[in-house]
Structure 1
Amino acid sequence: MSNLESTSALHGFATPGRYGKRDGEAGVTASERKNLGLATVVARKGQEAALKTAIQGAYGADLPDGSRSAVGKGVRFIGIGPGQWFAVSESLANEALADELATKLQGIASVADHSSGRAVMRIEGPAARDVLAKGLMIDLDPRVFVDGAAATSTLSHMGVLLWRDGNAYDVALFRSVGGSFWGWLRDSGAAFGLEFVTTS
């Protein structure tokens, strides 16, 4: 297992700082959640019940049946389709998450590592929903898109997985569209004042 940190998906495109409107507080803040473990978990034929039991036992999470997320011990599981989940972890960084899931779920699920192929951007602030609404064709009203809600959608023609974490929105996208995503975000957030920050 490698201990190397991944290069930012926005490397060469974005630099920390304020974009667009300069006066007042930034309406939206964006950051990249670095060195996450990202993996897909797909139940094998006839093993979905066994998979749910195994996840509950190992992580204390009830796998959601729809487009929602459930947080367990160190791992968030997001429903992305029938018998399919996207797993996200801060404590099991990079490929460590997929390695652990593959070991714990051997014989009942197929696990694929997505840590080197995807990036997760966090969008938050009072205008976060307004900015995202410029590119997403889903209802982000907090009465509908509640904490823990998730959706597989397109954002300005880019395929994304979006989930709400408290008052923040996390967007998982393919690293190959990092530059295009940044261009869209910079332009969409300019009217509100966009603050791009780096994280450790």
Structure 2
Amino acid sequence: MPKSSSAIPRVSPLADIALQGRFGADKGVPGVTLSVRHPMSIVTVIARKGQSAALARAIEAAYKCSLPGVGESTGTPSLSFHWCGADQYYAIAEGKAESELYRDLKARLEGLASCSDQSHGRVILRVSGPKARALLAKGTPIDLHPSTFGPGKSAVTQMAHVGVHLTQTGEDAFELSVFRGFSENFWEWLTEQAEEFGYQVL
């Protein structure tokens, strides 16, 4: 008898690529720390025509969290919402069962938004450390100066010719969401660019 979908383990596409260890320049403390945030529940939420305000109210009532404005993120590490376009958001959660977040959002937002489960389609990478901004600045035209781009900010951009959703989660901490099919090449680019700073993979 075939296994049910809930019994199938969710394997990161970078499981054999993002190997733990210390790499690059070996003097002093690593300038960058890299890790893969996995497994994650990722759902695209797109407001239906004329339902933006109602959607915001529904999210507030259901999750005690306001929808983010343009270029912003809201929520907590366990459940957050990230702006990714006009009336479009990523809902991201950890510690959820397979498709649990998608089913919950779909039921609660019926008639207000279209929801699409992206949990197997995207990969989230964490980049942190004192040289994190310098590393990311190599690949994006976005102004990452703290006075412009700080915690709670999000942006849709490109790095190494790959579409990236970028969020700042802390003073020197960022998360990058990329399509699964590009994740291996993107990881290779990211680690190559981090070599001059010295980097640690967790």
Interval of TM-score (by shorter of Structure 1 and Structure 2): over 0.9
Amino acid at match of 1:123: V
Corresponding position: 1:184 with 2:189:
yes
2:18, 2:95 → 1: CA distance? 26
1:21–1:72 Cα change, 3 Å: closer
**How far 1:98 sits from its partner (Å)?**
1.1
SS of the residue 2:120 aligns to:
coil
Query: Mean Cα displacement is larger for which, 36-45 or 90-99?
Result: 90-99
Gaps of 5+ in 2: none
Q: In 1, are the aligned partners of 2:18 and 2:35 still within 8 Å (CA)? A: no
* Cross-structure match for 1:101: 105
Corresponding position: 1:158 with 2:195:
no
1:35–1:79 Cα change, 3 Å: same
Amino acid at match of 1:160: V
**How far 1:60 sits from its partner (Å)?**
1.2
**How far 1:66 sits from its partner (Å)?**
0.4
Number of equivalences = 197
* Cross-structure match for 1:60: 64
Q: In 2, are the aligned partners of 1:35 and 1:94 still within 8 Å (CA)? A: no
* Cross-structure match for 2:119: 115
* Cross-structure match for 1:127: 131
1:3, 1:29 → 2: CA distance? 32
Q: In 2, are the aligned partners of 1:60 and 1:72 still within 8 Å (CA)? A: no
1:72–1:46 Cα change, 3 Å: farther
SS of the residue 2:6 aligns to:
coil
Q: In 2, are the aligned partners of 1:38 and 1:95 still within 8 Å (CA)? A: no
2:90, 2:135 → 1: CA distance? 24
CA RMSD of the aligned region, Å?
1.5
Gaps of 5+ in 1: none
SS of the residue 1:182 aligns to:
helix
Corresponding position: 1:143 with 2:147:
yes
Q: In 2, are the aligned partners of 1:38 and 1:94 still within 8 Å (CA)? A: no
Corresponding position: 1:41 with 2:38:
no
Identical counterparts, % of pairs: 39
Q: In 2, are the aligned partners of 1:74 and 1:89 still within 8 Å (CA)? A: yes
Amino acid at match of 2:196: A
**How far 1:80 sits from its partner (Å)?**
1.1
1:31-87 Cα shifts (integer Å, max 9, x gaps):
000011101101111111111100000111111230101115942111111111111
